[in-house]
Structure 1
Amino acid sequence: MNKIFLREQILEIRKNLNVQKVESFSDIIINTLISSELYKKASNIMSYVSFNNEVNTHGFIAKAIEDGKKISVPYIDNKNKVMLPCLIHDINELVPGYFGILSPDPNRLKLIDEKSIDLVIVPGACFDINGYRIGYGGGYYDKFLPLLRKDTSTIGLAFSFQVIDKVPYEKYDIPVDFIITEKDFIECEVKNA
Protein backbone atom coordinates (compact mmCIF):
# COMPACT_ATOMS: atom_id res chain seq x y z
CA MET A 1 0.00 0.00 0.00
CA ASN A 2 1.48 3.37 -0.89
CA LYS A 3 1.70 6.44 1.34
CA ILE A 4 -0.66 8.62 -0.68
CA PHE A 5 -3.41 6.00 -0.69
CA LEU A 6 -3.01 5.29 3.04
CA ARG A 7 -2.97 9.00 3.89
CA GLU A 8 -6.15 9.65 1.89
CA GLN A 9 -7.91 6.60 3.34
CA ILE A 10 -7.13 7.42 6.99
CA LEU A 11 -7.79 11.15 6.63
CA GLU A 12 -11.18 10.40 5.08
CA ILE A 13 -12.11 8.33 8.16
CA ARG A 14 -10.83 11.10 10.46
CA LYS A 15 -12.70 13.78 8.52
CA ASN A 16 -15.95 11.89 9.15
CA LEU A 17 -15.51 11.72 12.94
CA ASN A 18 -18.11 13.82 14.70
CA VAL A 19 -17.06 16.70 16.95
CA GLN A 20 -18.07 14.88 20.16
CA LYS A 21 -15.85 11.88 19.33
CA VAL A 22 -12.90 14.08 18.41
CA GLU A 23 -13.25 15.99 21.70
CA SER A 24 -13.85 12.98 23.97
CA PHE A 25 -11.02 10.92 22.41
CA SER A 26 -8.73 13.98 22.46
CA ASP A 27 -9.47 14.49 26.18
CA ILE A 28 -8.49 10.87 26.94
CA ILE A 29 -5.29 11.17 24.88
CA ILE A 30 -4.26 14.51 26.41
CA ASN A 31 -4.99 13.27 29.96
CA THR A 32 -2.75 10.25 29.29
CA LEU A 33 -0.05 12.57 27.95
CA ILE A 34 -0.07 14.98 30.92
CA SER A 35 -0.10 12.04 33.37
CA SER A 36 3.01 10.54 31.76
CA GLU A 37 6.52 10.75 33.20
CA LEU A 38 7.67 12.06 29.82
CA TYR A 39 5.50 15.15 30.27
CA LYS A 40 6.28 15.58 33.96
CA LYS A 41 10.06 15.47 33.37
CA ALA A 42 10.06 17.74 30.31
CA SER A 43 10.60 21.45 30.81
CA ASN A 44 10.80 22.50 27.14
CA ILE A 45 8.05 21.03 24.94
CA MET A 46 7.23 21.55 21.30
CA SER A 47 3.70 20.69 20.20
CA TYR A 48 1.85 20.85 16.92
CA VAL A 49 -1.25 23.06 16.92
CA SER A 50 -4.21 20.94 15.92
CA PHE A 51 -6.51 21.73 13.03
CA ASN A 52 -9.35 19.94 11.24
CA ASN A 53 -10.04 16.71 13.10
CA GLU A 54 -6.57 16.12 14.55
CA VAL A 55 -6.18 15.13 18.18
CA ASN A 56 -6.91 18.51 19.76
CA THR A 57 -3.80 20.07 21.32
CA HIS A 58 -5.15 23.54 22.16
CA GLY A 59 -6.06 22.59 25.75
CA PHE A 60 -2.76 20.73 26.13
CA ILE A 61 -0.75 23.78 25.09
CA ALA A 62 -2.68 26.00 27.53
CA LYS A 63 -2.22 23.44 30.37
CA ALA A 64 1.52 23.10 29.70
CA ILE A 65 1.94 26.88 29.83
CA GLU A 66 -0.09 26.95 33.06
CA ASP A 67 2.18 24.19 34.46
CA GLY A 68 5.22 26.40 33.83
CA LYS A 69 6.58 24.47 30.84
CA LYS A 70 8.29 26.33 28.02
CA ILE A 71 6.10 25.69 25.00
CA SER A 72 7.04 26.12 21.39
CA VAL A 73 4.90 25.51 18.33
CA PRO A 74 5.87 25.17 14.67
CA TYR A 75 6.27 28.10 12.34
CA ILE A 76 6.42 27.00 8.70
CA ASP A 77 8.92 28.99 6.67
CA ASN A 78 7.40 28.10 3.33
CA LYS A 79 10.03 29.97 1.34
CA ASN A 80 12.89 27.90 2.77
CA LYS A 81 10.72 24.78 3.29
CA VAL A 82 11.64 24.42 6.97
CA MET A 83 9.78 24.25 10.25
CA LEU A 84 11.01 26.47 13.08
CA PRO A 85 10.17 26.03 16.78
CA CYS A 86 8.84 29.29 18.25
CA LEU A 87 8.22 29.99 21.92
CA ILE A 88 4.73 31.15 22.89
CA HIS A 89 3.30 32.36 26.21
CA ASP A 90 -0.40 32.11 25.32
CA ILE A 91 -2.28 30.18 22.64
CA ASN A 92 -4.15 33.40 21.84
CA GLU A 93 -0.90 34.80 20.37
CA LEU A 94 -1.32 32.49 17.38
CA VAL A 95 -2.63 33.66 14.01
CA PRO A 96 -3.73 31.70 10.92
CA GLY A 97 -0.61 30.61 9.03
CA TYR A 98 0.40 27.85 6.62
CA PHE A 99 -2.76 26.06 5.38
CA GLY A 100 -4.77 28.15 7.87
CA ILE A 101 -3.17 26.35 10.84
CA LEU A 102 -2.74 28.58 13.91
CA SER A 103 0.87 29.62 14.01
CA PRO A 104 3.20 32.19 15.61
CA ASP A 105 2.82 35.71 14.22
CA PRO A 106 5.56 36.04 11.54
CA ASN A 107 6.27 39.58 12.79
CA ARG A 108 6.91 38.40 16.36
CA LEU A 109 8.77 35.11 16.08
CA LYS A 110 10.62 33.97 19.22
CA LEU A 111 12.81 31.25 17.73
CA ILE A 112 14.30 28.69 20.08
CA ASP A 113 17.18 26.27 19.59
CA GLU A 114 15.79 22.84 18.67
CA LYS A 115 18.56 21.30 20.82
CA SER A 116 16.89 22.80 23.93
CA ILE A 117 13.67 20.80 23.39
CA ASP A 118 13.03 17.81 25.70
CA LEU A 119 9.79 16.52 24.20
CA VAL A 120 8.08 16.91 20.81
CA ILE A 121 4.40 16.19 20.22
CA VAL A 122 4.14 15.05 16.61
CA PRO A 123 1.08 14.99 14.33
CA GLY A 124 0.47 12.46 11.59
CA ALA A 125 -2.11 11.06 9.24
CA CYS A 126 -1.06 7.53 10.12
CA PHE A 127 1.46 5.73 12.37
CA ASP A 128 2.64 2.16 12.66
CA ILE A 129 3.53 0.27 15.82
CA ASN A 130 7.25 0.87 15.15
CA GLY A 131 6.69 4.63 15.26
CA TYR A 132 6.99 5.33 11.55
CA ARG A 133 4.48 7.89 10.34
CA ILE A 134 2.84 9.26 7.29
CA GLY A 135 2.52 13.01 7.59
CA TYR A 136 0.64 15.36 5.35
CA GLY A 137 3.17 15.36 2.53
CA GLY A 138 5.22 18.48 3.29
CA GLY A 139 8.20 16.65 4.79
CA TYR A 140 8.64 19.31 7.49
CA TYR A 141 8.90 16.90 10.43
CA ASP A 142 11.21 14.61 8.44
CA LYS A 143 13.63 17.54 8.14
CA PHE A 144 13.08 18.79 11.71
CA LEU A 145 13.30 15.62 13.83
CA PRO A 146 16.95 14.81 12.94
CA LEU A 147 17.95 18.23 14.36
CA LEU A 148 16.87 17.26 17.90
CA ARG A 149 19.15 15.92 20.61
CA LYS A 150 19.34 12.12 20.64
CA ASP A 151 17.67 12.01 24.07
CA THR A 152 14.70 14.18 23.06
CA SER A 153 11.52 12.10 23.26
CA THR A 154 8.93 12.21 20.49
CA ILE A 155 5.27 11.30 20.94
CA GLY A 156 2.76 10.87 18.15
CA LEU A 157 -0.85 11.64 19.05
CA ALA A 158 -3.46 9.72 17.06
CA PHE A 159 -6.87 8.14 17.22
CA SER A 160 -6.62 4.34 17.40
CA PHE A 161 -7.73 3.79 13.78
CA GLN A 162 -4.72 5.87 12.68
CA VAL A 163 -2.29 3.24 14.04
CA ILE A 164 -1.72 0.29 11.73
CA ASP A 165 0.76 -2.60 11.64
CA LYS A 166 3.11 -1.15 9.06
CA VAL A 167 3.46 1.99 6.98
CA PRO A 168 5.86 2.32 4.06
CA TYR A 169 8.93 4.36 5.00
CA GLU A 170 12.18 5.59 3.51
CA LYS A 171 15.64 5.49 5.07
CA TYR A 172 15.42 9.20 5.99
CA ASP A 173 12.13 8.77 7.90
CA ILE A 174 12.50 9.12 11.67
CA PRO A 175 10.10 7.10 13.84
CA VAL A 176 8.50 8.56 16.96
CA ASP A 177 9.37 6.97 20.29
CA PHE A 178 5.80 6.67 21.61
CA ILE A 179 2.23 6.90 20.33
CA ILE A 180 -0.74 7.79 22.49
CA THR A 181 -4.27 6.91 21.35
CA GLU A 182 -7.56 6.89 23.23
CA LYS A 183 -6.96 3.16 23.82
CA ASP A 184 -3.19 2.70 24.18
CA PHE A 185 0.16 4.13 25.22
CA ILE A 186 2.48 2.49 22.71
CA GLU A 187 6.22 2.29 23.26
CA CYS A 188 7.52 1.94 19.72
CA GLU A 189 9.86 -0.90 18.84
CA VAL A 190 12.34 0.99 16.69
CA LYS A 191 14.43 3.97 17.85
CA ASN A 192 15.96 5.84 14.92
CA ALA A 193 16.75 2.63 13.06
Structure 2
Amino acid sequence: MNPQHSPVYMPNLPKPPHNPDDADTIADWRKQVRKALLAARTDMPGDMRVPAVAVICQLLKDVLASADLPAKARVGFYWPVQGEIDVTNVIGAHIAKGGQAALPVVTARHQPMVFHRWTPDTSMVTGFANIAIPATQADQEPVVPDVILAPLVGFDQQGYRLGYGGGFFDRTLEALGFKPVVIGIGFAHARLNTIFPHQYDVPMDILITEQGIEYFGR
Protein backbone atom coordinates (compact mmCIF):
# COMPACT_ATOMS: atom_id res chain seq x y z
CA MET A 1 0.00 0.00 0.00
CA ASN A 2 1.28 3.43 -0.90
CA PRO A 3 1.64 5.41 2.36
CA GLN A 4 0.33 8.59 0.76
CA HIS A 5 -2.92 6.85 -0.19
CA SER A 6 -3.55 4.98 3.06
CA PRO A 7 -7.06 5.62 4.41
CA VAL A 8 -7.15 7.40 7.77
CA TYR A 9 -9.52 6.52 10.59
CA MET A 10 -10.76 9.82 12.09
CA PRO A 11 -11.87 9.89 15.74
CA ASN A 12 -13.94 12.61 17.40
CA LEU A 13 -11.68 14.72 19.59
CA PRO A 14 -12.30 17.45 22.17
CA LYS A 15 -11.87 21.01 20.94
CA PRO A 16 -8.63 22.81 21.91
CA PRO A 17 -8.81 24.82 25.13
CA HIS A 18 -9.81 28.48 25.05
CA ASN A 19 -7.09 29.36 27.54
CA PRO A 20 -3.92 27.50 26.53
CA ASP A 21 -1.85 29.37 29.13
CA ASP A 22 -3.65 27.77 32.07
CA ALA A 23 -1.83 24.62 33.20
CA ASP A 24 -4.91 23.00 34.72
CA THR A 25 -6.92 23.63 31.56
CA ILE A 26 -4.21 22.05 29.42
CA ALA A 27 -3.90 19.06 31.74
CA ASP A 28 -7.65 18.47 31.58
CA TRP A 29 -7.68 18.81 27.79
CA ARG A 30 -4.78 16.38 27.44
CA LYS A 31 -6.61 13.89 29.63
CA GLN A 32 -9.73 14.10 27.47
CA VAL A 33 -7.77 13.84 24.22
CA ARG A 34 -5.75 10.91 25.55
CA LYS A 35 -8.95 9.07 26.47
CA ALA A 36 -10.49 9.73 23.04
CA LEU A 37 -7.38 8.66 21.13
CA LEU A 38 -6.94 5.48 23.16
CA ALA A 39 -10.56 4.57 22.48
CA ALA A 40 -10.11 5.33 18.79
CA ARG A 41 -7.03 3.11 18.63
CA THR A 42 -8.87 0.26 20.32
CA ASP A 43 -11.93 0.66 18.09
CA MET A 44 -10.02 1.10 14.83
CA PRO A 45 -11.61 -1.27 12.27
CA GLY A 46 -9.48 -4.26 11.37
CA ASP A 47 -9.73 -3.59 7.65
CA MET A 48 -7.99 -0.25 8.29
CA ARG A 49 -5.68 -1.28 11.10
CA VAL A 50 -4.08 -4.33 9.46
CA PRO A 51 -2.88 -2.59 6.28
CA ALA A 52 -1.86 0.49 8.26
CA VAL A 53 0.32 -1.61 10.57
CA ALA A 54 1.88 -3.36 7.56
CA VAL A 55 2.83 0.00 6.03
CA ILE A 56 4.22 1.32 9.31
CA CYS A 57 6.33 -1.79 9.90
CA GLN A 58 7.79 -1.64 6.39
CA LEU A 59 8.64 2.05 6.80
CA LEU A 60 10.30 1.30 10.14
CA LYS A 61 12.41 -1.40 8.48
CA ASP A 62 13.47 1.15 5.88
CA VAL A 63 14.42 3.73 8.51
CA LEU A 64 16.39 1.24 10.63
CA ALA A 65 18.33 0.19 7.53
CA SER A 66 18.98 3.74 6.36
CA ALA A 67 22.15 5.79 6.63
CA ASP A 68 20.29 8.17 8.97
CA LEU A 69 20.91 5.81 11.90
CA PRO A 70 24.04 4.20 13.33
CA ALA A 71 24.95 0.90 11.69
CA LYS A 72 23.72 -2.07 13.72
CA ALA A 73 22.11 0.32 16.18
CA ARG A 74 20.91 -0.76 19.60
CA VAL A 75 17.19 -0.02 19.45
CA GLY A 76 15.13 0.57 22.54
CA PHE A 77 11.60 -0.43 21.63
CA TYR A 78 8.37 -1.23 23.50
CA TRP A 79 6.25 -4.26 24.28
CA PRO A 80 2.83 -3.44 22.75
CA VAL A 81 -0.12 -2.78 25.06
CA GLN A 82 -3.49 -1.07 24.69
CA GLY A 83 -3.60 -1.40 20.93
CA GLU A 84 -0.08 -0.10 20.28
CA ILE A 85 1.51 -1.06 16.98
CA ASP A 86 3.43 -4.33 17.33
CA VAL A 87 6.95 -3.89 15.93
CA THR A 88 8.54 -6.98 17.47
CA ASN A 89 8.93 -8.71 14.10
CA VAL A 90 10.73 -5.64 12.74
CA ILE A 91 13.03 -5.67 15.74
CA GLY A 92 13.67 -9.39 15.28
CA ALA A 93 14.70 -8.73 11.68
CA HIS A 94 16.97 -5.90 12.85
CA ILE A 95 18.68 -8.27 15.28
CA ALA A 96 19.08 -10.91 12.54
CA LYS A 97 21.02 -8.32 10.54
CA GLY A 98 23.46 -7.69 13.38
CA GLY A 99 21.61 -5.02 15.36
CA GLN A 100 20.68 -5.10 19.02
CA ALA A 101 17.49 -4.34 20.91
CA ALA A 102 16.39 -3.51 24.43
CA LEU A 103 13.14 -3.09 26.32
CA PRO A 104 12.37 -0.46 28.96
CA VAL A 105 11.91 -1.50 32.58
CA VAL A 106 10.21 0.68 35.19
CA THR A 107 12.16 0.45 38.45
CA ALA A 108 9.90 2.76 40.49
CA ARG A 109 7.20 5.37 40.02
CA HIS A 110 8.45 8.84 39.11
CA GLN A 111 11.86 7.42 38.18
CA PRO A 112 13.51 7.05 34.75
CA MET A 113 13.17 3.72 33.00
CA VAL A 114 16.21 1.59 32.27
CA PHE A 115 16.71 -0.61 29.22
CA HIS A 116 17.60 -4.29 29.24
CA ARG A 117 18.74 -6.30 26.27
CA TRP A 118 16.14 -8.33 24.38
CA THR A 119 16.29 -11.01 21.69
CA PRO A 120 13.49 -13.19 20.29
CA ASP A 121 14.67 -15.92 22.69
CA THR A 122 14.42 -13.75 25.80
CA SER A 123 12.05 -15.05 28.48
CA MET A 124 9.53 -12.45 29.63
CA VAL A 125 7.89 -11.72 32.97
CA THR A 126 5.22 -9.24 34.02
CA GLY A 127 6.48 -5.85 35.13
CA PHE A 128 5.04 -2.47 36.06
CA ALA A 129 1.45 -1.89 34.86
CA ASN A 130 1.32 -5.53 33.70
CA ILE A 131 3.72 -4.83 30.83
CA ALA A 132 6.08 -7.64 29.85
CA ILE A 133 9.78 -7.13 30.57
CA PRO A 134 12.87 -9.34 30.08
CA ALA A 135 13.19 -11.95 32.82
CA THR A 136 16.96 -11.40 32.70
CA GLN A 137 16.65 -7.80 33.92
CA ALA A 138 17.34 -8.85 37.52
CA ASP A 139 20.85 -10.16 36.81
CA GLN A 140 22.02 -8.08 33.84
CA GLU A 141 23.33 -4.54 33.69
CA PRO A 142 21.14 -2.05 31.83
CA VAL A 143 22.18 -0.97 28.34
CA VAL A 144 21.93 2.40 26.62
CA PRO A 145 20.06 2.54 23.30
CA ASP A 146 21.21 4.51 20.26
CA VAL A 147 17.63 4.73 19.03
CA ILE A 148 14.36 4.73 20.97
CA LEU A 149 11.01 3.78 19.44
CA ALA A 150 8.23 5.67 21.21
CA PRO A 151 4.63 4.47 20.95
CA LEU A 152 2.29 7.39 20.37
CA VAL A 153 -1.10 8.03 21.88
CA GLY A 154 -1.01 11.32 20.00
CA PHE A 155 1.47 13.69 18.38
CA ASP A 156 1.55 17.18 16.95
CA GLN A 157 2.91 19.11 13.99
CA GLN A 158 6.10 20.05 15.84
CA GLY A 159 6.98 16.46 16.70
CA TYR A 160 5.86 16.46 20.31
CA ARG A 161 4.46 13.23 21.68
CA LEU A 162 1.34 12.71 23.76
CA GLY A 163 1.87 9.64 25.92
CA TYR A 164 0.02 8.09 28.82
CA GLY A 165 0.69 10.95 31.20
CA GLY A 166 3.13 9.22 33.54
CA GLY A 167 6.18 11.20 32.43
CA PHE A 168 8.39 8.09 32.16
CA PHE A 169 9.50 8.79 28.60
CA ASP A 170 10.74 12.35 29.15
CA ARG A 171 12.39 11.49 32.48
CA THR A 172 14.20 8.61 30.80
CA LEU A 173 15.55 10.77 27.98
CA GLU A 174 16.78 13.35 30.47
CA ALA A 175 18.51 10.70 32.60
CA LEU A 176 20.42 9.22 29.64
CA GLY A 177 22.65 12.30 29.50
CA PHE A 178 22.48 12.43 25.71
CA LYS A 179 19.67 12.38 23.20
CA PRO A 180 19.27 9.17 21.24
CA VAL A 181 17.38 9.24 17.97
CA VAL A 182 13.71 9.18 18.96
CA ILE A 183 11.31 7.60 16.47
CA GLY A 184 7.60 7.95 17.14
CA ILE A 185 5.35 5.10 16.01
CA GLY A 186 1.64 5.76 15.66
CA PHE A 187 -1.46 5.97 13.51
CA ALA A 188 -2.17 9.04 11.41
CA HIS A 189 -5.51 9.63 13.13
CA ALA A 190 -3.59 10.60 16.30
CA ARG A 191 -2.22 13.81 14.73
CA LEU A 192 -3.05 17.04 16.58
CA ASN A 193 -2.25 20.63 15.69
CA THR A 194 -0.45 20.95 19.03
CA ILE A 195 -0.31 19.12 22.34
CA PHE A 196 0.52 22.46 24.03
CA PRO A 197 3.95 21.10 25.06
CA HIS A 198 5.45 21.74 28.47
CA GLN A 199 9.04 22.85 28.85
CA TYR A 200 10.10 19.31 29.77
CA ASP A 201 8.45 17.65 26.76
CA VAL A 202 11.06 16.24 24.36
CA PRO A 203 10.25 16.26 20.63
CA MET A 204 10.75 13.28 18.37
CA ASP A 205 13.35 13.22 15.61
CA ILE A 206 11.39 10.98 13.25
CA LEU A 207 7.71 10.13 12.98
CA ILE A 208 6.32 7.05 11.25
CA THR A 209 2.62 6.60 10.47
CA GLU A 210 0.80 4.80 7.68
CA GLN A 211 0.96 8.08 5.75
CA GLY A 212 4.74 8.12 5.63
CA ILE A 213 7.92 9.27 7.39
CA GLU A 214 8.49 12.76 8.76
CA TYR A 215 11.78 14.20 10.00
CA PHE A 216 11.85 16.93 12.61
CA GLY A 217 15.61 17.41 12.90
CA ARG A 218 17.86 17.17 15.95
TM-score by length of 1: 0.86
Superposed displacement of residue 149, structure 1? 5.7
Matched ranges for 1:114-153 at <5 A: 114=144, 117-148=145-176, 150=178, 152-153=180-181
Aligned pairs, how many?
Answer: 188
Residues 19 and 65 of structure 1: CA distance in aligned 2, closer, same or farther (over 3 Å)? farther
Moved more, 153-162 or 74-83: 74-83
Q: Among residues 184, 187, 190, which one is paired with 2:212 in the alignment?
A: 184
Moved more, 104-113 or 61-70: 104-113
Distance 1:138 1:155 in 2: 19
Report Cα offsets for 1:74-116 as digits up to 9, x if no partner: 11113563311111122652223222222122664533343xx
2:70 touches 2:146 (CA, 8 Å); kept in 1? Answer: no
Give the secondary structure class of the aligned counterpart of 1:41. coil
Residue 41 of structure 2 aligns with an amino acid whose one-letter code is R
Unaligned runs of 5+ in 2: 1-15, 17-28
Equivalent in the alignment of 1:84: 114
1:58 touches 1:91 (CA, 8 Å); kept in 2? Answer: no
Equivalent in the alignment of 1:7: 34
Larger radius of gyration: 2
Superposed displacement of residue 16, structure 1? 0.3
TM-score by length of 2: 0.77
Residues 182 and 149 of structure 1: CA distance in aligned 2, closer, same or farther (over 3 Å)? farther
Distance 1:3 1:98 in 2: 23
Q: Percent identity?
A: 22
Unaligned runs of 5+ in 1: none
Superposed displacement of residue 147, structure 1? 3.2
Distance 1:109 1:79 in 2: 21
